[in-house]
Amino acid sequence: MQSPAGLRSRRQAIARSWDLARAAVLIPAGLPVPIPGSDQFHDFHAHPEFTYLAGARTPGACLAFDPAEGWVLFAPVPSLEDRVWVGDGEDLEALAGATGLPVRPLPGLRAWLEHRRGEALAILGNDDITYRPAGYGIESWAALELDVDHSLSTRLGEQVAESRRSKDPSEVALMRAAADASRGGHLLALRTALPGMSERQLQIELEAEFFRHGAERTAYGSIVGTGSNGAVLHFSPTARQLRNGELVLIDAGAEWEGYASDVTRTFPASTRFEGIHRDLYQLVLDVQQSAIATVRPGVEYRDLHLAASAHIAAGLVDLGILRGDPAGLVERDAHALFFPHGLGHMLGLATHDAGGCLKGRTPSDRFGLKWLRADLPLQPGYVVTIEPGIYFIRALLTAPARREQYRDAVDWDRVDTLLDAGGIRIEDDVLVTETGADVLSGAIPKSIPEIEALRAEAHSR
Ligand code: GLY
Ligand code: MN
Ligand code: MN
């Protein structure tokens, strides 16, 4: 829970950074999206810019700002029909108390906007107000005769993204709570998964444990891949059952008051990591731990990614999968055949949080860099994921053009024997401190002895 005083000072700081003489700013939370053919809605997720600035996640609410009058929150007042079908919603007075904002009933928003006709208008948050205005009590957006200033919206949005990068202590507390709930789920999976259980069963058990630990939602669709499915980076769980000799990769995180955790663990179906799985797991773990040990203010995230890529390339050379000098292999992006994604991303009110790329930097189109989602120097208060992986992705490893391009860089006969080996990823949530790193998800076991002890527990039940 964030304090109303803290939220007020956050909004004051943002307003100062905007430095607006005259303008109107709207930050809609977004409207629930109906599910066709039912009287219900998709799971509602308030826009993170709204949550950040309002300190609330009220569906259909709209935060508004004007430099002369300051901030005001317009909140929906439920109709009789809403109250019958959905419930009473949030009490406006309670909302004012929790957010430190003046709160007015949503029908006042139209008049607020009419008074600002002719002024520059910026829209942050969910812009559904322009194409679903009725949801905000406005009959027609066009009839308001407002011109949205898109470049102003971009500038103000960038300033909010910049401010969101560094988490304040109240945000860190929520992210710790999210990571603790994730710990419960991952521990349960490590302790109970057995051959014969389906990906779906694992997902259900893990998510139930998140909720039992107090989480309100999962931060993103849980990824559970057994065997070769573990090589699909964002695999949605199916009825496929875990088999002996395979690995299972679980990338799942609990959400706490809108704040995400994002955690991946990979473990054997049996009680032990065997053969190449053991070597590759230890390599990914070493890469992850060296990257975490390097985290400190001033370090460029892109350099962490490139160092991890070189570490993976060197390990794959030692294991006889890649051939050549690791630095040269990374220059040619050969490591990306096995580690195609970035080392991680910013984390916060979104799983891939705002502000990951420093202004003026554009994503590279290089095979080894194009999925890097963070490119900035780290600063205290940033929370980033560190998530190296090694995968045997058929689509990449059987493409004739890639085989030709990397003919000399890969032992392709060896790779052909590993096409069903799946994937390994280890992912933690890392807070940058003044002197180094604090791993928010660090209590979730990942060393080989810890994981094997938990797997032995599962098999002894
Ligand atoms: N869980 C999604 C990701 O790691 O990016
Ligand atoms: Mn992630
Ligand atoms: Mn993840």
Taking Cα atoms as reference points, which of 157, 227, 161 lies closest to residue 198? 227
Q: pLDDT above 70 covers what percent of the chain? A: 100
CA of 345 to the centre of ligand 2 (A): 6
From 61-65, 70-74, 140-144, 425-429, the region with the lowest mean pLDDT: 140-144
Give the 3-state DSSP-derived string for 353-369, with helices as H, strands as E and coil as C. CCCCECCCCCCCCCCCC
Tell me which residue has its CA closest to atom 4 in ligand 1: 262
CA dihedral 403, 406, 409, 411 (to 10 degrees): 0
- Alpha-carbon span 224 to 242, nearest angstrom: 10
Q: Is 262 a pocket residue for ligand 1 (Cβ < 6 Å)? A: yes
Q: Is 40 exposed, middle or buried (0-12, 13-18, 19+ CB in 10 A)?
A: exposed
Identity of the amino acid at 228? S
Q: Which among 235, 264, 441 is the best mutation to test ligand 1's pocket, defined by most ligand atoms within 8 Å of the CB?
A: 264
The pair of structure tokens assigned to 279 is 């070597």
Q: How far is CA 306 from the centre of its chain?
A: 21
The atom of ligand 1 lying closest to the CA of 234 is 2
- Alpha-carbon span 439 to 425, nearest angstrom: 16
CA of 224 to the centre of ligand 2 (A): 14
How does pLDDT run across 107-123, given as a tens digit for each residue? 999 999 999 998 999 99
Q: Is 257 a pocket residue for ligand 1 (Cβ < 6 Å)? A: no
**Partners of residue 268 on adjacent β-strands:** 247
Helix ranges (DSSP H) in 198-334: 199-212, 275-294, 301-318, 326-331
Task: Give residue 84's pLDDT.
Answer: 94
CA of 273 to the centre of ligand 1 (A): 24
Average pLDDT over residues 346-357: 97
11 φ, ψ (degrees, to nearest 5): -65, -40
Task: Give residue 1's pLDDT.
Answer: 76
Q: Cβ neighbours of residue 25 under 8 Å, at least 6 residues apart?
A: 18, 64, 65, 66, 121, 122, 123, 124, 156
Give me the chain's average pLDDT, please: 97
Task: Give residue 314's pLDDT.
Answer: 98
pTM, rounded to two decimals: 0.97
At residue 192, does pLDDT exceed 90? yes
Q: Is 261 a pocket residue for ligand 1 (Cβ < 6 Å)? A: no
The atom of ligand 1 lying closest to the CA of 262 is 1
Task: Give residue 363's pLDDT.
Answer: 86
- Alpha-carbon span 321 to 411, nearest angstrom: 5
In whole angstroms, how large is the CA radius of gyration of the chain? 24
How does pLDDT run across 28-78, given as a tens digit for each residue? 999 999 999 999 999 999 999 999 999 999 999 999 999 999 999 999 999
